[in-house]
Structure 1
Amino acid sequence: MNLLELESYFKGMISTNDRKYEEYILSYLKDHNVLISLLNNILKDEESLDLVAANSFKHPLGFIRIVLIDYKKFRYMLRLHIWNYSSQTNIFSDHHIHNHWCDFYSVLLSGELSFAIYSESREGLLYYKYENPIEDNTYLYDFVNAVNLEKQIDVSLTRGSSYFISQSALHLVTAKTDNLTSTLVLQLPNTVGKSVVYTSSPIYYKQREVPDKFTLPELESILKNYIISLSGL
């Protein structure tokens, strides 16, 4: 499978009336052989590699974010997230609990994740709440108020686990070990125009630019090393 074939498959699946198309897409791509074939074919085609690199970067929460299908084309987004790829660390000095501006499905391809759900409460720990309006290439932080958050769910996810997160769910997902951890994420169409971020210390800046996108050599190196790691599982 190459990138064009993936787009064709993706388009065909989301145009069906089957309400489980999200599960079918991730179930198909979580097969390591299928995913490795796709990534190898992207590496062989400079146009595909350039397209993927244009939307991919090191995410501030400490993982590599690789966009395989961009939401601007289908109103959906398909991403590969990779933790513990290198010595990169989370640039936030505290917990960064948040929700999203859309629902999404995810499947764990390798490694282990800690997955926690929170809710605002009269009890719990104090956090600073910020609204995060959608704006291309910029993270905005509009202070709302200080609130208490209480942890409702705390589970460990291992290879093969899949989950759904609604737009409103306040959550924190972190890689649990130093082993390479990766997920496929299927982001559904946008339902709201902003998300919410909670930090245990105040943020002293109004906005921050999205990290620089990967160059072709950078992405090529990441994908080659990831393929080697995935092939060994």
Structure 2
Amino acid sequence: MSTTSLTALDDHRFPRGLAETLGRDGAALSNLEKAAWEIRVEPRPFVSWLAGLLTNDAKVAEIAGRSYWHPNGFAKLVLHTSAEPEFRIRLHVWPESDVVSPGESNPHSHRWEFASHILVGTGMHMVEFTEVADGGKPFRRYRYGADPAHPAALVTDGEVRLKRQRSPHVVRGEVYSCDMDVVHTVRPIDAGLTATVVIQGPRRTPATVVYCEPGESDDQPNGVLSEADFRRLMTAVLAAFKSEAAS
């Protein structure tokens, strides 16, 4: 049953304040980083807004409809979209499991800049790559978003070699930022519940790159995320945040 109006949720101090932060000079990477740090320093407005989302049935249905399960078993929740300034608030959730999730195991870049904050869990392990002429490992390169008729399709773009550049670890309480030139993989450090807040800037390029190892299928469809899934994930994240904040 809905108990918080859509108007109240949209006018909540968190998305309103975030829009003010990002709108000063446009949603540049520096402002995305500042917004993520503001959540890290004072998470209560964000957590209050999260809790409010769960109380409105229409908002739950709206968010579930634009969110999805990644093929590797974690959820990408698109909590809020804004046209002016252009940005999105996402929550990526890796449910507790018996084994560590492979996360986003295909090296990839993004069509937008973003900054993220580890809200719940131990943290994330990233590996960043660069294309090289010699050495490294062979991959098949694809362009995502390159086919206007099928924007979610992967379009083959040749054989390349990738070499590791660095392997940053981002633990709970830290912020990680990424521009469109970075090619990386992302996975949680351990098998516990992990949730990251992602402040995503405007799309700045129509296509991005995804790499698959030789013999790996490029057919990796996303899964439907139900309203029940959304409620279950959000309830778990809020409970974990409360527990970790009290410890």
Same fold (TM over 0.5): yes
User: How far apart, in 2, do the equivalents of 1:38 and 1:44 lie?
Assistant: 10
User: How far apart, in 2, do the equivalents of 1:222 and 1:136 lie?
Assistant: 33
User: How far apart, in 2, do the equivalents of 1:80 and 1:162 lie?
Assistant: 14
Aligned to 2:50: 39
2:23 to 9, 12, 15: 15
- 5+ residue gaps, structure 1, are none
Q: What TM-score, normalized to structure 2? A: 0.81
Tell me the CA shift for residue 11 of structure 1: 2.7
Query: Quick one: structure 1 residues 201 and 95, their matched pair in 2 at CA, closer, same or farther if it must change by over 3 Å?
Result: farther
User: How far apart, in 1, do the equivalents of 2:77 and 2:186 lie?
Assistant: 17
1:165 to 152, 155, 178: 178
Tell me the CA shift for residue 28 of structure 1: 3.0
* Residue 117 (structure 2) pairs with residue 107 (structure 1): yes
RMSD of equivalent CA atoms: 2.9
User: How far apart, in 2, do the equivalents of 1:21 and 1:152 lie?
Assistant: 26
SS class of match (1:76): strand
SS class of match (1:12): helix
Tell me the CA shift for residue 117 of structure 1: 0.7
Query: Quick one: structure 1 residues 29 and 51, their matched pair in 2 at CA, closer, same or farther if it must change by over 3 Å?
Result: farther
User: How far apart, in 2, do the equivalents of 1:225 and 1:35 lie?
Assistant: 16
Tell me the CA shift for residue 99 of structure 1: 0.4
Q: What TM-score, normalized to structure 1? A: 0.85
CA offsets per residue over residues 80-131 of structure 1, 9 Å max, x none? 1111345798699x94000011111111223221111100112111111111
Q: Are the equivalent residues in 2 in contact too, given 1:3–1:42 (CA < 8 A)?
A: no
- 5+ residue gaps, structure 2, are 1-7
Aligned to 1:29: 39
User: How far apart, in 2, do the equivalents of 1:27 and 1:34 lie?
Assistant: 13
State the identity %: 18
Query: Quick one: structure 1 residues 28 and 46, their matched pair in 2 at CA, closer, same or farther if it must change by over 3 Å?
Result: farther
Alignment of 1:128-167 (within 5 A): 128-133=140-145, 139-167=152-180
